Amino acid sequence: MIRRLLIANRGEIAVRIIRACRERRVESVAVYSDADAHALHVEVADRAVRLGPAPAAESYLNIDRVLAAARDSEADAIHPGYGFLSENAEFASACEAAGIAFVGPPANAIAAMGSKTAARALAQAHGVPVVPGEAPEDQSDRALAAAITRLGLPVLLKPSAGGGGIGMKTITEAAEISGSLAAARRDAVAAFGDGTLYVERLVVGPRHIEIQVLADAHGSIVHLLERECSLQRRHQKVIEESPSAALRPALRARMGEAAVTIARAAGYRNAGTVEFLLEGTGDDARFYFLEMNTRLQVEHPVTEAVVGIDLVQAQLDVADGAPLPWVQDQISGRGHAIECRVYAEDPAQQFLPQAGPLLCYREPSGPGVRVDGGVREGGGIPVHYDPLVAKLVVQAGSRADAIARARAALARFVVLGVTTNIAYLQRILVHDHFGAGEIDTTWLDRQHDHLIGTGEPVPAAAVAAAAHATGTGGAPRAGMATAAASDPWQLMMGWRANAS
């Protein structure tokens, strides 16, 4: 049984896992870089260990330092969260060699799914459809160009070791082939240390559908329905929901079976996600295997909301050796859930990441409203990492009601001090196309000008005045909890009920 869990991550996912630890009376160990010394995840953990300087390569991505932190804190298990080392087969192997349980899949499954070409071949071998494409053994420009010619334009050029859209190039004209090959190979080597490329036919206007799977060490694998992840910008998801408006029961069942088939073929264990592209609609829709993410997804809360299964607790149960307590027929969805990713970024400036102090931070609450956050008022957004502020997750009986609830919750989400994408998210939710479910992976790009709005930025003086009005303009008094810095019951500054 896991007694002490080290969370090899930061921000909202670290806080999320720490809360799960508290529920099962497992001691939590946070790790932090110098930039995160006063971060929320450090404060809420039972203990915390410094990793190193702010750069991720010297802290959160440093396997030796993470394992040293686990040894020093006598942790018997490590949860990698998402990002950083979560899909690093070397890290999973190093944990096993050190006698520390890795809350995730086996290293060989991570490696098998980490190569996009190997994962594609595995899917094909087990009868799961893939996008027509080629992965030439000869990686010369001439051989890759010949593969592109055989497939026919337009095509998508992808790094085999890639992820997150890094290095992907769309080629629509023959004149673009040479430059795209050079750029894709250069990006792949820089990001992954591997310049191997493969080519796929470009599926025009597809939906991005992913299936959550859970597998134990006793041979049981189930899927937990789907998530609609088509709203993407630069291959990064913005809003996710479950269920998808595009899936009928028969298609949902076939995609779920395909996801379980791939997980079983990979020798998978723990939580994972199988991603598909969906082409067409209704009875004519076709799906293609895209890749498998061998970790917990950012958007896992929408599945939790609809299916009623706590995925982090399930991960810990599997890591403890417990069998899955469900069979497939016992898993069903209820209602509709939507997740909005609130980022510190400026949509009007090409989504430029923002950094700085959080002068005022107020999360919405209410029936069917959940916020997974990793920041606090008085803290800040550092320049060194992904600028995710929080994930707003709502659930309601229908998709229309979930959209309305998400809109109302975003209107109550207050962040002062940094520019966020909250207004951008609100414009998506009120758009007629989104309301009708008429979206695909290119929709955000097509609607860019409309969605970013034309309003002027709020003047800095107005932000400062608003922060002062909420009592957050100055530093909190010694001994006062930062989160309570604007609570009138704590301030005791002459405030009285019913005053104007």
What is the CATH architecture assignment of 132-201? Answer: 2-Layer Sandwich (3.30)
What's the topology of domain 207-452?
D-amino Acid Aminotransferase; Chain A, domain 1 (3.30.470)
pTM, entire model: 0.88
Within 10 A of 489 (CB to CB), how many other CB atoms are there? 7
φ/ψ region of 390 (left if φ > 0, alpha if ψ in -120 to 50, else beta) reads: beta
Average pLDDT per 10 consecutive residues for the chain, totaling 500 residues? 97 98 98 98 98 98 98 98 97 98 98 92 96 93 96 94 83 96 94 92 95 98 98 94 96 97 98 96 90 97 98 98 97 98 96 97 98 96 97 98 98 97 98 97 95 66 62 45 46 51
Residue indicated by tokens 């670290």: 14
What is the pLDDT, as a whole number, of residue 281?
A: 84
Give the residue extent of every domain in the chain: 4-103, 132-201, 207-452
Domain 4-103 of CATH type 3.40.50.300:
no
Q: What angle do CA 313, 319, 322 make, to 5 degrees?
A: 80
Q: Residue 103 has which token pair? A: 């809350």
pLDDT of residue 500: 47
Contacts 24+ apart (CB under 8 A), 272-276: 272/105, 272/113, 272/212, 272/213, 272/215, 273/210, 273/211, 273/212, 273/213, 273/297, 274/210, 274/211, 274/213, 275/208, 275/209, 275/210, 275/211, 275/229, 276/208, 276/209, 276/210, 276/211
User: For residue 477, what pLDDT is reported?
Assistant: 39
pLDDT value, residue 465 = 61
Show Cβ contacts of residue 277 under 8 Å, excluding neighbours closer than 6 positions: 131, 203, 206, 207, 208, 209, 287, 288, 290
Question: What's the pLDDT at 46?
Answer: 98
Tell me whether the CATH fold assigned to 4-103 matches the one assigned to 132-201.
no
pLDDT value of position 69: 98
pLDDT of residue 470: 59
